[in-house]
Structures are given as structure tokens and as C-alpha cells.
Structure 1
Amino acid sequence: AAAMDEVVGELDRLEAVFSTFRRDSQISRINAGDLHLLDADAEVLDVLDACTWLEHASGGAFRARRPDPPYALDPAGFVKGWATERAAQRLTDRGLRHWYVSVGGDVIAHGTPAMGRSWRVALADPRASRQVVGVIEIDAGAVATSGTAERGAHIWDGRTDTPADVLASLTVTGPSLAWADALATAAFALGAYGMTWLERFDDYAGIAVHGDGTITTTGAVAPAPPVLVA
């Protein structure tokens, strides 16, 4: 219980730093002109550096700014997975070898649930509430999904400032939740090209659900190969 309290405490702390819904967060203060970017905490600069790299890598499809004037800073597309991974690290720091953390549908796991077994993560059907289209099995690592199932069309293509809606959902597996989540967001924003783009990242694999229910996967194989069970 104490270890999980530390996880929740770290998530709360990071929420206070990065939330665009809190006027006193560092991101909100930067947007308001009350805090110079260079005076922000090192972790804020690290996140924004990662966002800048991802924006360039995706040709502008991923963007850590709001899609409407004054284009306020909003690194949520990277922070969600990064914060969860950072908080979950507290469990390893506590000496726990086998654990599983799920926040907002994104999963990071360490070890195994039992001898000879893998962690099983349900892949939600973005077209039907409480339905699944398969199960992903991982021995360790992360699973992150971007799509329209929970919040509708909330991911924007930074190249056009319009909602990304070519795919219904895109799930990425790999060793890091921070990057699995960020790559899922960027690939989803890239639309039809997203799965091809994702294949350049050898440690990550993608599973896309199209509007007609068709499922496609990337050719990349993660260190712990994901298995899609129909």
C-alpha cells in the first residue's frame, strides 16, 4: 500500500507541474507569461525537448501546442505516458519485482504475474463500448493506445490543425511507456502513413484498428514480442 501511495503521490505532483487545467502549473504559468521557459524545472525542459524531437520526427503531425490561437503550450501528448512510467518506477525503487500499473488505459508492467505466464492487456474495440478486438500478451514493458474510443476526436494533426480521424485506434507496445504513448499519438495523427512511420522504431510494434474493423500490424518486433490473440 505504501508503494502505491508513492505512485499516486508522484502522479499528483506531476499533474501539478504539467496540467493545463491548473492556473498555477508551470505549463499554465509559461503560457500566461508568468514564468520564462528557461526558469522552469529541469523535468519540464526535458519533456519539451522530447516533444520538439517528436514534432520534427513526425513531420509536424505531433505538436505540443493547442490547435487554435494563441497556440498555447500543451505537452499532454507526451506527459501522460511519461508521468505514468516515472511514477511506476517507484515500485521498482521499493524492491518490487512483479507489478502492473494501468492509468487511463495505458499499461506498464514489470516481471510476470506468475511463473510461465504473461501479462494480458485487452485491446478495446474503438467502435463498441466494452468490447475487445483482441488481447496483447507481454512479459514486461508497455502498451499504449491512442484513438477515439474514450474521448472522441481529441487528437489533432499538427500539420493541418484538424482532428485526426483516419484510424479508429492505434496501439503501440515497447520497452518504455513514455515513448509507446508518444509514438501512438504521433502515428495516429499521421493517419494512413502512421503505421509505416512507426516501423522505423525497431523496439516498438503497432496494432491499428481501422474504421471498418480491419486490424493491421507493423513489421517491427519489440524485445518482448507482442502477441495479438483474436
Structure 2
Amino acid sequence: MPLAFHTLLKPRSQRYRARYEAVLGTALELQLQADGPRQARAAETAVLAEIERLEGIFSSYLPASELSRWQARGSARVSPELRHLLYEAESWRAHTYGAFNPAAAALQTLYAQNPQPGEAELEALRAALQGPLWRLEGQEAHKITPLPLTFNALAKGLIADRAAQAALRVGGLEVLLNLGGDLRHLGQQRVRVAVAHPFSPADNAPPLARLWVCNQGVATSGPSQRGVHLFDPRTGQPATQVVQATVVAPSAATADVLATAFCVLEPMLSLALAEVFGVGCLLVEASGQTHSNPRFEQQRIH
């Protein structure tokens, strides 16, 4: 995982740790501060229940999820949660100049079938990615594009946010949740976060950076962690200039979507957008050159 974390404890509260595998196809690490084991168990149960509930809505892998059923039908009345996801995704698509695109997985499929796709085929897909993907009308959502849609780069962060909030509602005093590299902290005590170095394969290698986080989300994305899997929807080409992007934001959802977009956009444009949205970012290019903005540096531990 690209993130590690440590907490400072309140002297009279107790810390509880839990780790689960195969949660949303990844690992879940949970740290809680609570007044006792009953409160901790209630918070842990709330986290797992909220993740399971939202997976049943947002998952593009589960055939019975609301998202999968909506895509199969093309038009349907959708839940407030799915409508919110669609609204946020369309907003981020516009804010990132198309770098975030829920239909971009079609490019990954194309290149998997043919590492050197024909120009006409690539241009047709690129054009389809630029068009409207869905339309919202009240509580109805209408899928316009024939391309499959996945929202992993936004939904996972959103799930992390809501799962952490669920823990606080039932008795957690401090919550630190790491869902496959999407981190969400809620509480009044700051936590230390370590960002892995993209060119160091060993898990115990010195981190690229350490920083303080409080009531924020952190996400890291890039081919350094999973190989080339990100593509530029604007050009149809693999995104290879930035090998890792880390974003510190008010929420894990914002950090998640911008970390993905910043792996696609040119570094200087990403830095400019980071200032617009009030987030910290650390970018690593394939050449080894790094870029960060003042907000990130303010939270860095030197």
C-alpha cells in the first residue's frame, strides 16, 4: 500500500486496530480510539456495514449492484447515493478537463486486446469518450454512452469517507481508515502519514515523504503501484509522464479523484488545479523529478 500511518493517543482512551482482506477487492486497515471495547466494536461494525452497503450500490464488479443494474437497463430511477455519485463524477470530469472519465476503462480494454491499436479505432473511441455519458433528470438517470462505466477512482474515496463517518456516529472518538490506499482521518488529533517512494520496491524502504494530516483524506495513484493502467481520455494514449500522484484533501473522495486525474494531466496544470481546489499534492515524474505545492509542504514533516 502506498500509505502508512501512526496516531497520537488520548491518554484516557484506548486504541483498537483491525485489518481485513478482500474488502472491495483490497485491504482495509482500521484504527479507532474509543472509551471501551463496546464502543470500538460498534464503530468497527458500522464501518464494515457501510462499506458493504455502498459496495452494493457503486460496484461495477457485482452484477447485482445498483450501478450494474442501471447500466444494463440504460434508464432507471436511482438512489440518492448513486445520483450523488453520477453528479460528482460529471462535475469532476469537467473540473479536470476530461482527465477523469468514468468510461476510460474502455481504453485499457482496447490496449489489452491490441497494444498498438489502429488509428481509426483509437480515434473512434477517443471521440466517444468526449461525448455525454449520462443524463440526470430529477430522480431518473439515463445512460447515453454504450461504453461501460466504472467509478472506482471516486467511489472508493467516497466509501472511505462515509465509512469513517459511520464509525464516529456510533462511538468512535478518532477514526483512521485506510481502504486500499485511500485514507480518511476524522478526529481532533493529527496523524502521521508516510507516502511510499515509487522507485523503491521494498515495503520497508524509506518513504518519499512524511506529513501530518488532521480531518483530511489522502490518496496516492499511479502506474508505479499497479503498472500502466491509466490512460488519457483526451488523447487515447497511456498516461506515463507522472508515475505517482499523492493528494491531501478535505475528503478521501476529492483526494481519490484528483490523484487519478493528476497522473493524467501535465504536472504544471495539476499544480494549478491543486491551488484552485485547495489541496496539497506531490507528483513524481518517470524521470524522477518531483513537484509539490505549498499546501503539501505546509504539512510535510521535515
Q: Common fold, TM-score beyond 0.5?
A: yes
1:139 CA drift (Å): 2.8
1:124 CA drift (Å): 0.9
Q: Is the 8 A contact 2:209 2:300 kept in 1?
A: no
User: Which residue pairs with 2:193 in the alignment?
Assistant: 121
Of residues 60, 66, 74, the one that matches 1:26 is 66
CA distance in 2, matches of 1:163, 1:26: 30
CA distance in 1, matches of 2:162, 2:280: 22
Q: Percent identity?
A: 30
Q: Is the 8 A contact 1:187 1:197 kept in 2?
A: no
1:179-228 alpha-carbon deviations (Å, 9 max, x no partner): 111121122221333223222112x1111122233321123x37x94215
Q: Secondary structure at the match of 2:100?
A: coil
1:162 CA drift (Å): 2.8
Amino acid at match of 1:40: V
Whether 1:227 and 2:300 are equivalent positions in the alignment is yes
Of residues 67, 73, 77, the one that matches 2:106 is 67
CA distance in 2, matches of 1:108, 1:57: 23
Number of residue pairs aligned between Structure 1 and Structure 2: 220
Q: Indicate the RMSD between aligned Cα atoms, in angstroms.
A: 2.1
1:18-49 alpha-carbon deviations (Å, 9 max, x no partner): 1111111122122222x624x12111011010
Q: Secondary structure at the match of 1:109?
A: strand
CA distance in 1, matches of 2:223, 2:191: 25
1:141-189 alpha-carbon deviations (Å, 9 max, x no partner): 1111111233222222221233222111111112111111112112222
Q: Is the 8 A contact 1:99 1:112 kept in 2?
A: no
Q: Where do residues 1-230 of structure 1 align in structure 2 (5 Å cutoff)?
A: 1-33=41-73, 36-37=75-76, 39-65=77-103, 66-68=105-107, 70-111=146-187, 118-129=190-201, 130=203, 131=205, 132-192=207-267, 193-202=269-278, 204-219=279-294, 221=295, 225-229=298-302
Q: Is the 8 A contact 2:57 2:81 kept in 1?
A: no
Q: Which moved more, 1:52-61 or 1:123-132?
A: 123-132
CA distance in 2, matches of 1:71, 1:88: 32
Q: Secondary structure at the match of 1:178?
A: helix
Q: Is the 8 A contact 2:165 2:186 kept in 1?
A: no
TM-score, normalised by the number of residues in structure 1:
0.87
CA distance in 2, matches of 1:163, 1:71: 18
Q: Is the 8 A contact 1:198 1:206 kept in 2?
A: yes
- 5+ residue gaps, structure 1: none
Q: Secondary structure at the match of 2:147?
A: coil
CA distance in 1, matches of 2:298, 2:81: 31
TM-score, normalised by the number of residues in structure 2:
0.67
